Amino acid sequence: MSLEPSSLTANWNYPTAIRFGPGRIAELGSVCRAAGIARPLLVTDAGLARLPMVAGALGHLADAGLQAQLFCDIQPNPVAANVIAGVGMFITGGHDGVVAFGGGSALDAGKAIAFLSGQSRPIWDFEDVGDNWTRADLKGIAPTVAVPTTAGTGSEVGRVSVITDEETRIKRLIFHPRIMPVAVIEDPALTLGVPPHLTAATGMDALAHCLEAYCAPGFHPMADGIAVEGMRLIRQWLPIAYRDGSHMEARARMLVAATMGAAAFQKGLGAVHSLSHPIGAMYGAHHGLLNAVLMPYVLAFNRPVIAPKMDVLAQALGLPERGFDGVSAWIGGLCRELAIPKTLAELGIDDRKADAIARAALADPTAPTNPVPLEEAAVRALFLQAQRGNTAGL
C-alpha cells in the first residue's frame, strides 16, 4: 500500500540541509533567501529548460522577489566550455548564487559554475589530485542550491563536479568541500515524468554507487550501513518506478537511495566508475547506463576479494540465494528486468580505444579503491570482456 505524500515529507541535515517531499519545490525561493542568494543563476540542461518544471521553478524564485536568470548551455557529460560560459553569465549578470536544477550533468555543471565564479585560476587547477583543492579562494565560492530531477547520481550532496576535458577526452573530478550545495530540495514529483529507460539507467547508477562503496576496502561502518540500506531500497522500489513512472512512493524512495549512494561513496568507488568515466568521455554514453552494463563484469572480477561481504549483503537484502552467487543473480535479473544491454558493443562502443581506456581508467581517482588492485593489462581485459560479452576468465 502506498503512503500518503505527507508521510514522505521531512527535513534532514545529513550531510547537508535537505528538504524532502512532494511539492517542496514551492519552497525554492525561501531556501535561496536563507542561503543568502538574491540573484540566482538557474543552471539546467537545454531539454529540461523547455519543460514546465523549469518555468515553475523560475516562477517560485520570482514570487520570492529574487532576480533569476536561466543558463542551459550544458551538454550531457558537461565539458569545461559549458562551465566557463556559465561563469561568464554568472559574472555579467551580477549573480550571487546558483540553483543547480536537473540530472547529474546540470548538477555537476551548476556546482562547478558556483565554485569557479570567484576564482582566478583555471578549472583544471582544482582537479582532485593531491591538495589542489587548497588553491581555492574561499571568498570566491558562491553558494549552490541543488534540485535533482532524477534519482541516480546523488550529486546534490557531493563535494565534486565531474567535468570532461575536451582536449584529452578525460573526465576530471573537480573537488572542494565547499562545492557541496548549501541546501537541497528533493521533490519526487519532479521525477514523475522520467521515462522508463532513464529511470533504469539512473537507478542503476545509484546501485553502482552503493555497491562499489560497500565493496571498497577500508573500515567505514557508517558508509557500509548507508550503502546496504540504499541497495535494499533499490531492490524494492526501482522495478516499481520503472514499470509505473507515476508511483510517488517509488519515486521518493529512489531519490532517497540515490542520495544515500552519494553519501556512502565517500568511502570509495571502484572499477565500474574508473572504466565508465573514460568510456563516457570518449564515446558520450550515459554514465548510469555504462555503470549498469559494466557492473556484472566488475562484480565477477572482484569476486575473490568481495565474496565474504556478499554473504552479509545477500542476507541483508533477503535474497533467495545466499553468498556471491545470490547477489550476482539478483543484479543479473535486475538488469534483464530493466532491459539493460548486456555488452558495451550494444551501446555503440567499439574496442579500438581499449588501450587508451585502460590507461585512463587506471589513472582515474576511483581506481585505487577497487577491491582487487588494478593493473593496466587486467583493466584492458575487463573492458574487452564487457565490450564483447565474453565472461571467460571472470
Half-sphere exposure of 255 (CA within 13 A, CB side): 30
**How high is the pLDDT of residue 392?**
54
Confidence of residue 14 (pLDDT cuts 50, 70, 90): confident
C-alpha span between 181 and 110 (Å, rounded): 10
Lowest mean pLDDT among 1-10, 73-82, 354-363: 1-10
C-alpha span between 349 and 328 (Å, rounded): 24
The stretch 30-47 carries a mean pLDDT of 97
- Inform me whether the pLDDT recorded for 393 exceeds 80: no
**How high is the pLDDT of residue 58?**
97
C-alpha span between 157 and 204 (Å, rounded): 18
Asked whether the CA dihedral 367, 275, 145, 68 is positive or negative, the reply is positive
Confidence of residue 6 (pLDDT cuts 50, 70, 90): low
The total of other beta-carbon atoms located within 10 Å of residue 197's CB is 14
- What is the distance of C-alpha 273 from the center of its chain? 11
**How high is the pLDDT of residue 60?**
97
Mean pLDDT of the chain: 95
The stretch 148-154 carries a mean pLDDT of 94
Confidence of residue 365 (pLDDT cuts 50, 70, 90): very high
Half-sphere exposure of 253 (CA within 13 A, CB side): 22
- Inform me whether the pLDDT recorded for 394 exceeds 80: no
**How high is the pLDDT of residue 390?**
74
**How high is the pLDDT of residue 1?**
44
- Inform me whether the pLDDT recorded for 91 exceeds 90: yes
**How high is the pLDDT of residue 219?**
94
Q: For the chain, list the domains and their CATH numbers.
A: 5-190 (3.40.50.1970), 195-388 (1.20.1090.10)
H-helix or E-strand spanning residue 13: strand 10-13
C-alpha span between 296 and 109 (Å, rounded): 30
Confidence of residue 169 (pLDDT cuts 50, 70, 90): confident
Confidence of residue 48 (pLDDT cuts 50, 70, 90): very high
C-alpha span between 212 and 368 (Å, rounded): 12
- Inform me whether the pLDDT recorded for 321 exceeds 60: yes
**How high is the pLDDT of residue 13?**
87
Return all residues near 16 (Cβ < 8 A) that are at least 6 apart. 157, 180, 181, 182, 183, 184
The stretch 140-166 carries a mean pLDDT of 95
**How high is the pLDDT of residue 8?**
81
- Inform me whether the pLDDT recorded for 234 exceeds 60: yes
| C-alpha to C-alpha distances, 293 to 18, 34, 343, nearest whole angstrom | 31, 41, 6
